[in-house]
């Protein structure tokens, strides 16, 4: 299975389908999208009359919002089964005039002579390898100074997703007489129900826990993304979490040095790794090679535990966490007291998880996942958003 869409087709699923039935439901969703673009410093007043190309729209919820904002849309969706949902949506909400065409192909096979003002490629983009392939394709479709909007699974921010998959695999090893989704409910239903969501845990189970593309080999490192897009003719406009070195101060009319800005942004990302992994403010004032090395080892260990459980790997993961905590205590974090307490609590929670995973009986692990408040509330920052501008 080479493409993420093939995984959804094989499971007869449209992962983002929200079944909007009223203007109120669409308006509520539009507010969520408006908040996303607000955080990305991109005004929705920019959209009227703009030509927008969307790769992988699935059933078209985001595209309804673009249409409401006045954009002219071309959608590229390889899953033919999603096309009927898109047409019905646009007809239901009287937005069909904004939908110019739907093309049944994937990103790399799409060809056009048009130049677009904005390209949106959210969700699946991290699975297209190498990065240069989709960067070059989108650059070819954009007008000069056009924008590329993506969201993707980030290597360190997705640590918690990998940990949940490893926990599931560990319990399934002992409870192989129980259906997979039932194991997921036993472990994660309390966690899932602790957040505001619009879908059932069955959908999340398919989208994360058993999804073969939610693995480290597909995730994109934020620093590598900045370098690859820069080499492909893009500069970062904005992101969430923030990648830009916002502490830089200089005369606003001075000549821009984009190479210098890139180097500063890469350092800023290195200092933000811990924040991305933990999902809370834990910015380092200085780069720390010990923390960087141990974070990298920790992510690799957890990814390996999904396929093969060993007590030794769990013990090594605890060592990595201890090393990170030692370095955190030696370093200065850009956090207030509450943030520091949260960082320590999450790291201790991780240690407990690996301790229980290392045991030959999983009852304690199951109970911990059902009851521990820190575990239930911790999600990391798996999905990163970024807007790039073509030079």
Measure the CA angle with vertex 66, ends 60 and 71; round to 5°.
125
**Euclidean distance between CA atoms 256 and 252, whole angstroms:** 9
**pLDDT tens across the length of the chain (391 residues):** 467 767 766 676 667 777 788 999 999 999 999 999 999 999 999 999 999 999 999 999 999 999 999 999 999 999 999 999 999 999 999 999 999 999 999 999 999 999 999 999 998 999 999 999 999 999 999 999 999 999 999 999 999 999 999 999 999 999 988 999 999 999 999 999 999 876 789 989 999 999 999 999 999 999 999 999 999 999 999 999 999 988 888 888 888 889 999 999 999 999 999 999 999 989 988 889 999 999 999 999 999 999 999 999 999 999 999 999 999 888 777 766 667 789 999 999 999 999 999 998 999 999 999 999 999 999 999 999 999 999 8
Contacts 24+ apart (CB under 8 A), 27-32: 29/61, 29/64, 29/65, 30/65, 30/68
Q: Which token pair is 177?
A: 């007489």
Cβ pair 288, 331 in contact under 8 A = yes
Please report, for the chain, the start and end positions of each structural domain, with discontinuous segments joined by +.
4-153, 159-216+281-382
Q: Nearest CA to 317 among 111, 167, 146?
A: 167
Distance CA 232, CA 141 (A): 13
For 169, the token pair is 């695999």
Kindly tell me the burial class for residue 277, based on how many C-beta atoms sit within 10 Å of its own C-beta (0-12, 13-18, 19 or more). Answer: buried
User: CATH for 4-153?
Assistant: 3.40.50.150
What's the CA gap between 271 and 287, in Å, rounded? 6
CA-only gyration radius of the chain, Å: 22
pTM, two decimal places = 0.93
Q: Looking at residue 155, what DSSP letter applies?
A: T
């Amino acid at each position: 299975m080479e493409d993420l869409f093939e995984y959804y087709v094989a499971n007869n699923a449209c992962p983002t389908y929200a079944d909007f039935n009223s203007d109120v439901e669409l308006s509520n969703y539009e507010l969520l999208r408006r908040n996303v673009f607000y955080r990305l410093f991109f005004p929705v007043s920019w959209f009227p009359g703009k030509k927008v190309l969307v790769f992988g729209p699935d059933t078209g919820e985001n595209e309804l919002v673009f249409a409401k904002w006045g954009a002219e849309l071309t959608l590229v969706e390889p899953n033919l089964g999603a096309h009927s949902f898109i047409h019905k949506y646009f007809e239901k909400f009287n937005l069909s005039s904004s939908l110019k065409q739907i093309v049944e192909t994937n990103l790399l096979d799409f060809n056009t002579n048009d130049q677009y003002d904005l390209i949106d490629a959210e969700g699946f983009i991290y699975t297209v390898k190498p990065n240069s392939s989709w960067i070059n394709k989108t650059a070819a479709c954009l007008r000069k100074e056009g924008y590329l909007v993506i969201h993707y699974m980030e290597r360190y921010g997705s640590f918690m997703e990998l940990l949940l998959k490893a926990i599931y695999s560990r319990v399934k090893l002992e409870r192989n007489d129980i259906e997979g989704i039932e194991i997921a409910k036993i472990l994660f239903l309390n966690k899932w129900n602790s957040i505001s969501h619009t879908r059932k845990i069955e959908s999340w189970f398919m989208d994360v826990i058993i999804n073969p593309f939610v693995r480290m080999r597909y995730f994109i490192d934020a620093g590598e993304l900045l370098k690859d897009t820069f080499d492909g003719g893009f500069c970062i406009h904005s992101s969430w979490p923030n990648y830009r070195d916002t502490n830089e101060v200089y005369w606003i009319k001075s000549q821009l040095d984009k190479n210098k800005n890139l180097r500063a942004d890469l350092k800023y990302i290195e200092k933000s790794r811990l924040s991305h992994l933990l999902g809370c403010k834990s910015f380092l004032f200085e780069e720390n090679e010990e923390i960087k090395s141990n974070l990298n080892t920790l992510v690799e260990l957890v990814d390996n535990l999904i396929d093969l459980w060993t007590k030794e790997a769990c013990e090594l993961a605890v060592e990595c966490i201890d090393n990170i905590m030692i370095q955190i205590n030696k370093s200065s974090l850009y956090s207030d007291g509450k943030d520091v307490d949260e960082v320590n609590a999450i790291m201790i929670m991780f240690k407990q998880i690996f301790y229980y995973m290392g045991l030959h009986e999983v009852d304690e692990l199951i109970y911990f996942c059902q009851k521990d408040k820190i575990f239930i509330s911790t999600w990391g920052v798996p999905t990163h958003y970024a807007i790039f501008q073509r030079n």
